[in-house]
């Protein structure tokens, strides 16, 4: 391999790492609006509210950034990926529902580390199916696997230190543990379609517009099953009206984080991108501790654990960020890409260009449609309508810290967005 | 064309890992219910 592709690979690595870290910031920030939602609403109904907000955002952002013509053209060129995107959305919804049972049966402090193993599952699939880390050498393996383990361990320590242990051991503990582990397995497996889409040259913005159908459809179906019918589900859902704005806002922030995660999966692979975006636990912790004062009553030992867990996660992220894929690993990625091209009769040159972050000029030329403006206006209208008459839990906020964190997440958005635009035009 | 694409999708060995795990997860949810 010549020097140029290696240099280009290194710049894409930096871009992917920045996207992974920005994903962590925004996925963590997405937890903040949901804290204003009054408790006492079924978790299935809350999930449905958030997924509806996600659905709106997953259509609005791609229309704004690239236009519906671009998205549809991309989908037409790789129609087989529609199946994969829907499966990925369904995997997300089933995993999310499993976490409800896991938390109920064994508590968050036990359940969280178990389902957070999803990054290890993703790393395994990345290695098995997409030849990630092949040819990266012992040092590369050590950095990525060690970094992932450090992030996982750090997140577990944070969960342990900041959640109250259940006072009793439920008889259904085994099922709870099984539910948490299966959620991790499902989420880790969800990254197979992500990577498959990107080594086929699909744009992440196109992928999420289809992903959201699987996500919303499965969430509706599961909500209907667990709330004894869709009629009951919607009846309960109407009770969320006063807080629906916060759920939609949380969903919107989630989609921004998710998009960064998708770009990270595209440019550094799932083995590196997913653990980096799993640093969202750190941001969620910062919002909880600094803005909502959730940890005021924590013991000194718990505070030390929080500090230790956070440092561990940062060390893990640094290790992964410095694990640039060498030329031998990039050659393995290319083999995985060639498999997709020959299997699904894709244009190899176009796919290679897309993987390098180069714009598809033909698709971009006819990207915008007049109705894109209508989609944008409809989304803005929905948010304004929901904001009307909204109220939240009366909760004490630390305004200065809230402004600091808002500024930090906005800076992440600006830096990540600018880098993506300059290097890839959101390709 | 559509038929050949469907065959390519269904005979893709990588498809069956997510499908199988999705079925397993759904089955577990039904048990939990």
Residue A168: the pLDDT is 46
Residue A226: the pLDDT is 87
Asked if residues A187 and B9 have their Cβ atoms less than 8 Å apart, the reply is no
In chain B, residues with a C-beta closer than 8 Å to the C-beta of A75 are none
Asked if residues A92 and A261 have their Cβ atoms less than 8 Å apart, the reply is no
In chain A, residues with a C-beta closer than 8 Å to the C-beta of B8 are 80, 343-344
Asked if residues A45 and A421 have their Cβ atoms less than 8 Å apart, the reply is no
Query: Chain B: residue nearest A345 by CA?
Result: B5
Residue A349: the pLDDT is 93
Give ipTM to 2 decimals: 0.95
Residue A167: the pLDDT is 46
Interface of B with A in 1-33 (CB under 8 A): 5, 8-9, 12, 14-15, 17-19, 21-22, 24-26, 28-29, 31-33
Domain that includes residue A78, residue range: 3-424
**Count of CB pairs separated by less than 8 Å, A with B:** 64
Interface test with A, best of B10, B15, B22 (most A CBs within 10 A): B22
Cβ–Cβ of B21/A189 closer than 8 Å?
Answer: yes
Residue A32: the pLDDT is 83
Mean pLDDT of B2-23: 90
Total domains in the fold of chain A: 1
Q: Splitting chain A (427 residues) into consecutive groups of 10 residues, what average pLDDT does each group show?
A: 57 95 93 74 86 93 92 92 96 92 80 86 95 92 93 85 58 82 95 96 95 95 90 88 88 94 96 92 86 81 86 91 92 95 93 89 76 92 89 78 96 96 92
Residue A171: the pLDDT is 59
Among the partner-chain residues B19, B28, B32, the one whose CB lies closest to the CB of A87 is B19
Asked if pLDDT for residue B17 goes beyond 60, the answer is: yes
Among the partner-chain residues B22, B24, B29, the one whose CB lies closest to the CB of A97 is B29
Residue A61: the pLDDT is 93
In chain B, residues with a C-beta closer than 8 Å to the C-beta of A196 are 14
In chain A, residues with a C-beta closer than 8 Å to the C-beta of B15 are 83-84
Query: Chain B: residue nearest A340 by CA?
Result: B12
Between CA A86 and CA A92 the distance in angstroms is 10
Residue A6: the pLDDT is 55
Residue A169: the pLDDT is 52
CB count in 10 Å sphere of residue A319 = 20
Buried b (16+ CB within 10 A) or exposed e, A36-47: bbeeebbbbbbb
Interface test with B, best of A82, A97, A126 (most B CBs within 10 A): A97
Between CA A217 and CA A171 the distance in angstroms is 32
Q: Can you read off the two tokens belonging to residue A25?
A: 């910031």
Place of tokens 């500024």: A407
* Residues A126, A130, A131: CA angle, nearest 5 degrees: 90
User: Would you call A278 helix, strand, or coil by DSSP?
Assistant: coil
Between CA A165 and CA A66 the distance in angstroms is 47
User: Pick from A15, A91, A21, A32: which is nearest to A404 by CA?
Assistant: A32
Residue A88: the pLDDT is 97
Residue B1: the pLDDT is 72
Cβ–Cβ of B8/A186 closer than 8 Å?
Answer: no
């Amino acid at each position: 391999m010549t020097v140029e592709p290696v240099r280009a690979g290194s710049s894409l690595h930096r871009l992917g790492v920045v996207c992974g870290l920005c994903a962590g910031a925004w996925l963590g920030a997405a937890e903040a609006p949901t804290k204003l939602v009054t408790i006492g609403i079924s978790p299935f109904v809350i999930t449905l509210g958030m997924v509806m907000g996600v659905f709106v955002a997953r259509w609005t952002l791609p229309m704004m950034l690239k236009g519906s013509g671009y998205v549809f053209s991309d989908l037409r060129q790789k129609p087989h990926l529609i199946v994969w995107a829907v499966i990925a959305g369904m995997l997300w919804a089933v995993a999310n529902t499993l976490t409800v049972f896991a938390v109920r049966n064994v508590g968050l402090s036990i359940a969280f580390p178990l389902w957070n193993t999803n990054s290890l599952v993703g790393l395994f699939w990345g290695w098995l199916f997409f030849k990630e880390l092949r040819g990266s050498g012992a040092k590369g393996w050590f950095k990525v696997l060690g970094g992932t383990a450090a992030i996982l361990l750090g997140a577990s320590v944070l969960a342990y230190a900041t959640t109250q242990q259940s006072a009793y051991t439920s008889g259904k503990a085994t099922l709870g543990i099984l539910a948490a582990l299966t959620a991790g397995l499902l989420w880790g497996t969800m990254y197979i379609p992500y990577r498959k889409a990107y080594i086929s040259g699909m744009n992440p913005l196109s992928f999420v517009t289809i992903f959201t159908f699987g996500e919303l459809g499965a969430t509706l179906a599961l909500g209907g099953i667990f709330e004894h019918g869709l009629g009951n589900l919607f009846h309960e859902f109407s009770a969320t009206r006063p807080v629906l704005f916060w759920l939609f806002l949380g969903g919107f922030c989630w989609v921004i984080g998710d998009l960064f995660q998708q770009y990270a999966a595209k440019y550094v692979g799932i083995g590196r991108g997913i653990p980096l975006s799993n640093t969202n636990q750190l941001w969620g912790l910062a919002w909880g501790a600094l803005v909502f004062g959730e940890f005021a009553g924590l013991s000194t030992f718990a505070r030390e654990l929080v500090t230790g867990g956070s440092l561990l996660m940062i060390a893990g992220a640094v290790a992964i960020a410095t694990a640039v894929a060498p030329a031998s690993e990039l050659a393995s990625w290319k083999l995985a890409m060639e498999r997709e091209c020959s299997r699904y009769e894709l244009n190899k040159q176009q796919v290679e260009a897309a993987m390098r972050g180069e714009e598809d000029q033909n698709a971009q030329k006819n990207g915008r449609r007049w109705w894109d403006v209508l989609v944008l206006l409809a989304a803005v209208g929905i948010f304004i309508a929901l904001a009307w008459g909204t109220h939240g839990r009366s909760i004490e906020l630390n305004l200065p810290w809230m402004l600091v964190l808002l500024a930090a997440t906005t800076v992440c958005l600006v830096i990540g967005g600018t880098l993506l635009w300059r290097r890839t035009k959101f390709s | 064309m559509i038929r050949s694409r469907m065959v390519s999708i269904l005979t893709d060995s990588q498809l069956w890992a997510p499908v199988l795990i999705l079925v397993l997860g759904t089955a577990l949810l039904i048990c939990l219910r």
